[in-house]
Structure 1
Amino acid sequence: MSSATVKVTDESFEADVLKSDKPVLVDFWAEWCGPCKQIAPILDELAEAYGNKLTISKINIDDSPMTPSKFGVRGIPTMMLFKDGKMTSMKVGAMPKSKLVEWLNEAGVA
């Protein structure tokens, strides 16, 4: 995993995501998930590009099952945007970089 994306756990979620002073995109993923691996390099690129405006973090649902269950994650990859401690937008499934950028622009964080 690149240092561009931030690894989050059940224990660090509140501090790293909910109390962040900038918007956070959280990628709920797992080692065995093909589409999750497919979008990982795209998220790394976005983390580099938007680093000063947006934190991109990843939470492994197998290592940290409480957080995905709390937010009703049913399929992975699921990406959620958090702003000021609240989930503001969500996308499920892998998507091309152009679609992710479009989503971030629509959400007003890019």
Structure 2
Amino acid sequence: METKLSFKDLINSDTPVLVDFYADWCGPCRMMPPILDKVKKSFGDGLNIIKIDVDKNQQAAAAYGIRSIPTLILFQNGEIKWQQAGVPQAAQLEQVIREKATV
């Protein structure tokens, strides 16, 4: 049986967590899945990626001051290591993760 971790548990883990704040109606947000897939393949189990729909999770979006989407936030051990709005290239994102987190 799979245990579902809470958002707080996930971001407090040793494993870096990349959070994609998005909305279904957002055009640029639709460009993220193939980029995130590439990044996930590069890091495998060394990185968790979760997507948070800002329309369904307004409290989470407000808590992190999300004003434009997509916004990516990299967490590790409960700390924000990096945050950026917009659509990065996969290679740029991989480089940031290697620089900012312990993977």
The alignment's TM-score, normalised by the length of structure 1, stands at: 0.80
How far apart are 1:99 and its partner, in Å?
1.5
Counterpart-to-counterpart distance in 2, 1:61 and 1:95: 19
The count of residues paired between Structure 1 and Structure 2 equals 99
Is the 8 Å Cα contact of residues 54 and 109 (structure 1) preserved in structure 2?
A: no
The amino acid of 1:100's aligned partner reads: L
**What secondary structure does 1:51 align onto?**
helix
Instruction: Return the alpha-carbon distance in structure 2 between the equivalents of residues 97 and 109 of structure 1.
Output: 18
Point out the structure with max Rg over C-alpha: 2
What percentage of aligned pairs have identical amino acids?
37
The aligned counterpart of 1:87 is 80
Cα distance change on mapping 1:36 and 1:109 into 2, 3 Å: farther
Flag the 1:108–1:82 CA change in 2: closer, same or farther, 3 A. Answer: closer
Query: Structure 1 residue 66 and structure 2 residue 59: aligned?
Result: yes
Contact 2:23 2:55 (8 Å CA) reproduced: yes
Kindly indicate whether the alpha-carbon contact (under 8 Å) linking 1:80 and 1:91 is maintained by their aligned counterparts in 2. Answer: yes
Residue in structure 2 matching 1:49, options 35, 42, 48 = 42
CA drift of 1:109 comes to: 4.1
- Greater Cα shift, 49-58 or 76-85: 49-58
Deviation at 1:58, TM superposition (A): 0.7
Q: Distance in 1 between matches of 2:95 and 2:9?
A: 27
Matched residue of 2:45: which SS? coil
Counterpart among 20, 24, 29 of residue 17 in structure 2: 24
Matched position secondary structure for 2:88: coil
Which residue in the other structure is 1:37 paired with?
A: 30
The runs of 5 or more residues in structure 1 that have no matched partner are: 1-10
Report the CA distance between 1:14 and its aligned residue. 1.2
Q: Which runs of 4+ in 1 moved over 2 A?
A: none
The answer (yes or no) to whether the contact 2:22–2:70 under 8 Å persists in 1 is yes
